[in-house]
Structure 1
Amino acid sequence: MVTVRLVGISKGWSGVKAVDNLSLDIGNGDFVTLLGPSGCGKTTTLRMIAGLEDPDDGEIYIHGKLVFSASKGVNVPPAQRGLGMIFQSYALWPHMTVFDNVAFGLVQQKLSKDQINQRVTRVLADVELEGLAHRYPSELSGGQQQRVAVARMIVVSPELLLMDEPLSNLDTRLRMQMRASLKRMHQETNTTVVYVTHDQEEALTMSTGIAVMNKGKLEQYASPEEVYERPASKFVAEFTGNPQTNFIDAEVVDGRLKIGDRFIGHIDGDALPNAVTLSFRPEAMSIRQESTPNTLPATVYATLLVGASVLVYVHIGNIEAVIRAERGSKFRGNQEIWLEPDWTQVNVYSPTTGRRLDYAVRG
């Protein structure tokens, strides 16, 4: 069952399309993230679902009901769309304590005092505010106010929840904790969530589906695994993953891939192009100490220790790339190494359109 359906919605200002002919189906119980850089149209899309912005064209359905249609003159007010919203502005009631702010929706639902106490206490513990229940918003930091806003919405378990970068003001540790809390809430309540962020790590770790947007258009809508492992375009490949993916241009000569003056693999398919762009994640290359068939020469120029791995920055000819190596790996500046691709993790793109090509590559 589809909870939210967007059919060809568009929105523009002064001749600039913020959202351009966007169609999207979000299923019941899905956690879908609208992911993209600033200005890509993701927040505008969320506000149109909420009813806070009117599309110029298209239709919006929520729970099977038409709530907006430019051509049919339908525009259901936000309060009647059956959804909850958390935006970057906290909108807390200043005259209420933290506990009362969070409990407000439960009071409206006429739950018993015991039920309210139990649910509010639990959600305040989830967001690490249990010791601040009797404080007022003016006595809290910005990050604490943001957590109150999140707690106030998730405690009522709405059927549809819209969230616009709700974790943006939190430090790294709290952001990780809140991701876990939101994911648990989603799993326990089966709430349908539409979540906006520019943080690809948030999208990849929390979502059941990711809609990657760029300049108002939908680049790819797929599972986190599909978005990471088989990005539909160079934009998606570059925007997802940390560090970013590596791109290398290659000639296609009689079904073989040529980088510089070195043949490094094969490409299979009909009507092969003369050139392609290869994309490989930092973990998709292994470092070798000597040349073997299908390896690329590279020169180390820097290394960074990052948790359980080492990031090795190299030059491949005049191209900069980064390789993920095991913790404890030792390299020195200007060291010559050889790189061997894991062809199962390499994607092929058109150098002109930037779209992924369905050619098979191998060693």
Structure 2
Amino acid sequence: MAIAAETTVTVLPQRQSASTESRMTTADIPPAAAQDRKVMVSIRDLSKAYGAVHALKGVDIDIYEGEVLVLLGPSGCGKTTLLRSVAGLEQPTTGTITVRGQTVFSSEHNLSLPPEKRNLSMVFQSYALWPHMTVADNVGYPLRVSKVPEAEVRERVRKILDLTGLQQHALKYPGQMSGGQQQRVALARALVANDGLILFDEPLSNLDAKVRERLRDELIAMQRRFGFTAIYVTHDQVEAAALADRIAVMQVGEVAQLGEPEAIFNEPHSRYVADFVGCVNELSGTVAGWEGNHLAVDTPVGRLLGTVADAPTATGAPVKVMFRPEHGQLRDGPVNGPNSFAASVEQRVFLGSHVEYRLRIGEGYLAARSMSAARMEDGRGVTVSVDPDVVRVFQDAG
């Protein structure tokens, strides 16, 4: 039993069936809000190999105008390679990338436009600011590179510094500013080019928690104000859920699941997605049969009903049952009704907005999370109930 408790490319020099999840087609699954939008970026059958290592394997995604698509996954899953391939900083092995209908990469036609010809901007984790330039000069740099008249440069820089709250820092140098302020400068530089497409490579990961949260909120407000399209790389599930219109969960170079944040969290297509996106409880079991629209599974805590994700449904088949800690309802009284079982409180941890419990069930443990102020002390016997609609049944991959 397991408990599960990233019209100029201004790319500046860096200083520092669900059972077939791995081959699922994602390009034709637009978000509800993007049904009538144009496609900003189209990625088709994109692969990237470093020798025998395949960083990307046949990725298909469409990103829509005004959408924030988050590429989410652990280190080494291919999310940054995919982002850099769109930017022109990596050369894919095979496939096609189009931006606003223009092909910027095609292995078939031996075409790969350089970054500055792709009409996009990028914000790096390392800020990538010129230390010898003032804030105003850093922000205006992509415009000067593009030969924009100087009077227009100064006016556009002034406006964007006002909009991003940086006007008072215009004459400062990066070394005189905090990390959060420097990242705000990097965002202003990306916005001033007015490309409408910005790529973000884990831009908040170097900041402390409070600054990261504040800048995340500012980024959401900026995106709503300017309406730019964003592809955003992160390994942080909370950040992904807060920012995304859709999330693409990456797994060893492939898109394991693509969808809106609520669907990714509540309806994961695989154990990998369920386990990576949030905390989960996992129980081993065997299929007992169907009870109405739910699959019945015999587990160490008794029979549980759940919805099928990628599980076999033959009677006796080994499966895994998973549900999230917040979906377990704790109460006093005897076990009765479906999807209820007995447990005892091993540990209670008060975390301000909620209480987390470690529950003993026989020889194993489960996690529960409650918003209730009621105290269930250590050693207390409780009944746990879980709605069958939030229980997911997956194949047992060993």
TM-score normalised according to structure 2 size: 0.81
Residues 33-63 of structure 1 deviation map (CA, whole Å, 9 limit, x = unaligned): 1000001111111111111111111111111
Residues of 1 paired with 2:304 and 2:220: CA distance? 42
Shift of 1:105: 4.5
Query: Which of residues 247, 254, 259 is equivalent to 2:282?
Result: 247
In the alignment, what sits opposite 2:347?
302
Tell me the SS of whatever aligns to 1:151: helix
Is 2:43 the partner of 1:9? no
8 Å contact kept, 2:200–2:230:
yes
Residues of 1 paired with 2:242 and 2:228: CA distance? 17
Residues 118-158 of structure 1 deviation map (CA, whole Å, 9 limit, x = unaligned): 331220x2xxx565333211223444333321232134443
Residues of 2 paired with 1:88 and 1:261: CA distance? 46
Is 2:100 the partner of 1:100? no
In the alignment, what sits opposite 1:25?
62
Is 2:366 the partner of 1:321? yes
Is 2:121 the partner of 1:121? no
Tell me the SS of whatever aligns to 2:61: strand
8 Å contact kept, 1:297–1:316:
yes
CA gap of 1:264–1:347, structure 2 versus 1, over 3 A, is closer
Query: Which of residues 375, 391, 394 is equivalent to 1:330?
Result: 375
In the alignment, what sits opposite 1:359?
none
Shift of 1:97: 1.5
CA gap of 1:144–1:134, structure 2 versus 1, over 3 A, is same
Letter in 2 for 1:215: V
Query: Which of residues 315, 320, 324 is equivalent to 1:277?
Result: 320
In the alignment, what sits opposite 2:249?
212
Shift of 1:3: 1.1
Q: Which moved more, 1:207-216 or 1:314-323?
A: 314-323
For structure 1, the residue ranges without an aligned partner over 5 or more in a row are 354-363
Tell me the SS of whatever aligns to 2:129: coil
In the alignment, what sits opposite 1:47?
84
Shift of 1:237: 0.7
Is 2:326 the partner of 1:286? no
Residues of 2 paired with 1:316 and 1:237: CA distance? 22
TM-score normalised according to structure 1 size: 0.88
Letter in 2 for 1:180: D
Query: Which of residues 229, 233, 258 is equivalent to 2:298?
Result: 258
8 Å contact kept, 1:280–1:347:
yes
Residues of 2 paired with 1:2 and 1:114: CA distance? 31
Query: Which of residues 235, 239, 244 is equivalent to 1:202?
Result: 239
Letter in 1 for 2:160: R
Residues of 1 paired with 2:360 and 2:391: CA distance? 19
CA gap of 1:59–1:292, structure 2 versus 1, over 3 A, is same
Query: Which of residues 114, 123, 141 is equivalent to 1:86?
Result: 123
Indicate the structure whose relative CO is greater, using CA pairs within 8 Å and at least 6 residues apart: 2
Shift of 1:334: 2.6
Shift of 1:13: 1.5
For structure 2, the residue ranges without an aligned partner over 5 or more in a row are 1-37, 291-295
Tell me the SS of whatever aligns to 2:98: strand
Matched positions, count:
347
Letter in 1 for 2:298: K
